[in-house]
Structure 1
Amino acid sequence: MPDADSLPSADAALLAETARAAGALALGFFQRDPQVFTKADASPVTEADLAVDRFVAEALRPARPGYGWLSEEGKDDDERLARRRVFVVDPIDGTRAFIAGKPDWTISLAVVEDGRPFAAALYCPVTDEMFVAERGGGARLDDTPLAVRTDASLVGCRLAAPSGFSRAASVKAAGIETVGFVHSLAYRLALVAAGRIDAAAASSRACDWDIAAADLIVHEAGGRLSNLDGEPVRYNRRDVSHPPLVAAGGRLHGELTALFAAFSRDDAPLPT
């Protein structure tokens, strides 16, 4: 009989509990002019990101000492590559929204096992929405099971994507409707799982911590997140960055990956 801590439900519960507490901590800084710093890649990070990162590490690492660790705001090393299971953490996904006082930022926590998500929790503190998924156990928003839309096609498809997608000729020609920009990529993907939109896209700047939790949520809701070749995302590699990605359900996923792949082959870079 497996140890309880090896079950996805145990890890999912731990992640959800930690995400909710981390969200409460982050709200203590929200709309209160938090101190902002600039990272080496010129992206912003706030004192709230750093405080949440410390809190999450102190909650998760002692609870699962055998797991590796990868966080956007932590120091990375090769030690995690030798671990079968790894925590993948984005303390605040959507930092620019957080700085601007907008609601679309999240706490994104996942456990990756053998390169694929095993358990996930994604929490939006402002709206008090908790998305949780476990491998083989489905995805839910609070107590409501999630399911992607499977009847959508390109014409009239509601797509959440970086702003440049709405200006792409191929997107306009296909009759796709782009919806308002969502700062948190993880939340953007979770909206697909919830059936609130039909599809979501990410540019080539996404990293493991941006997408690991949402990937499992989309998958367990019956959808797919993949690169433009239709291949699933692999995690806990030395290089944690990924090429452009598409999330959708049903035949729409294949139609969108084909459309964006053709767009890319025409020597026009995918918009960011």
Structure 2
Amino acid sequence: MPDVDVALEGRLAEDTALLIEAVREAGALALSLFRTDVRNWIKGKSSPVSEADLAVNDLLARRLRSATPNYGWLSEESADDPARLARPRVWIVDPIDGTRSYLAGQEDWSVSVGLVEGDAPLLGAVFAPVTGELFFAARGEGARRNDAPIRAAAGARLDPGRIVGPKPLVQRLGEALEPGPLHPRIGSLALKICRAAEGRLDAAFAGGHSHDWDLAAADLIVHEAGGTMTSLSGEAVVYNRPEVKHEPLVAAGRERHARIVAHFRRSPPV
């Protein structure tokens, strides 16, 4: 883990203000292009990307990187620079998390930006521009939505109507899962985790294709809201590694999270 420069400790207030301002500005730009005829295409095997993703990424890069030239940068829409691995702090960015929903004109997308120190999130902001919800957390200071404190739902009950994630993964809860329909899909993984952080969902699963940029901001938010997010076997999520892809994860309040992890330890997914 890179050493954290003592001089950085005094930057937390500046970085917080910078992050919130930049995320709001990025959200406004994304919203101005929302439900317009933006050019889009497929990258890799099946991941959609659009002119809006790139425009928002460029805005965030200008705002954040120019103000913090000594920080690293990792974004879904930027070429990866291995120099980030030696930086004490790294911006981890998903310009539009939930691009499929964005292109379909649906509301469930977000702008997600985390600031990682060493290998763990220090600041996290997830902004849902359509609904005007800004989720924010700073390490050790709690989590909030639009300045109101939020808390993950207490209890251990596994109600499928309050759990979101890939259907096969949720169904692996088997007999522990109460009868009932599954919750509708949420396009943005970061927003899905934030819904668990604020107690509107009991749990949120991530499949085995999530990356640092999907997770870093929301991870801190759910932890600061009294919940936790780990692998299905209970291992903490580590950021800013050479490999930024993660195995399946679950986020929930602590009691419910412990029950889910205990279940998957007994019956791991194949």
**Residue pair 1:8, 1:135 contacting (<8 A) in 2 also:** no
**Residue pair 1:206, 1:241 contacting (<8 A) in 2 also:** yes
Q: CA deviation at 1:38?
A: 1.3
Determine which of 77, 86, 93 is the counterpart of 2:90: 86
Determine which of 231, 234, 253 is the counterpart of 1:230: 234
Equivalent residue of 1:54, what SS? helix
| Structure 2 letter corresponding to 1:248 | A
Partner of 2:219: 215
**Residue pair 2:156, 2:259 contacting (<8 A) in 1 also:** no
**Residue pair 1:4, 1:10 contacting (<8 A) in 2 also:** no
Q: CA deviation at 1:65?
A: 0.9
Partner of 1:174: 177
Which residues of 2 match residues 67-82 of structure 1 at below 5 A?
Answer: 67-82=71-86
Which residues of 2 match residues 45-194 of structure 1 at below 5 A?
Answer: 45-154=49-158, 158-165=162-169, 168=171, 170-171=173-174, 174-175=177-178, 178-194=182-198
Provide the C-alpha distance between the structure 1 equivalents of 2:265 and 2:188, rounded to a whole number of angstroms.
24
Provide the C-alpha distance between the structure 2 equivalents of 1:171 and 1:12, rounded to a whole number of angstroms.
42
Provide the C-alpha distance between the structure 2 equivalents of 1:153 and 1:9, rounded to a whole number of angstroms.
38
Equivalent residue of 1:237, what SS? coil
CA displacement, residues 146-205 of structure 1 (integer Å, 9 cap, x when unaligned): 111122323567211123345x26446521653111010000000011111111101010
Runs (4+) off by over 6 Å: none
Deviates more, 1:87-96 or 1:144-153: 144-153
Partner of 1:260: 264
**Residue pair 2:89, 2:118 contacting (<8 A) in 1 also:** yes
Partner of 2:16: 12
Q: For the structure 1 residues 6 and 204, does the alpha-carbon distance in structure 2 shift closer, same or farther, using more than 3 Å as the test? A: farther
Equivalent residue of 2:245, what SS? coil
CA displacement, residues 7-34 of structure 1 (integer Å, 9 cap, x when unaligned): 4343222111111100111112110121
**Residue pair 1:107, 1:122 contacting (<8 A) in 2 also:** yes
Partner of 1:25: 29
| Structure 2 letter corresponding to 1:84 | P
- Please give the TM-score of this superposition, normalised by the length of structure 1: 0.91
Q: CA deviation at 1:134?
A: 0.3
**Residue pair 2:186, 2:192 contacting (<8 A) in 1 also:** yes
**What RMSD, in angstroms, separates the aligned Cα atoms of the two structures?**
1.9
Deviates more, 1:24-33 or 1:45-54: 24-33
Provide the C-alpha distance between the structure 2 equivalents of 1:81 and 1:172, rounded to a whole number of angstroms.
43
Deviates more, 1:25-34 or 1:153-162: 153-162
CA displacement, residues 92-140 of structure 1 (integer Å, 9 cap, x when unaligned): 0000000000000000001000100000111000000001110011110
Equivalent residue of 2:30, what SS? helix
Provide the C-alpha distance between the structure 2 equivalents of 1:251 and 1:157, rounded to a whole number of angstroms.
18
User: Percent of aligned positions with the same letter in both sequences?
Assistant: 46
Q: For the structure 1 residues 189 and 176, does the alpha-carbon distance in structure 2 shift closer, same or farther, using more than 3 Å as the test? A: farther
Provide the C-alpha distance between the structure 2 equivalents of 1:79 and 1:64, rounded to a whole number of angstroms.
15
Equivalent residue of 1:38, what SS? strand
Q: For the structure 1 residues 89 and 56, does the alpha-carbon distance in structure 2 shift closer, same or farther, using more than 3 Å as the test? A: same
Partner of 1:35: 39
Contiguous gaps of at least 5 residues in structure 1: none
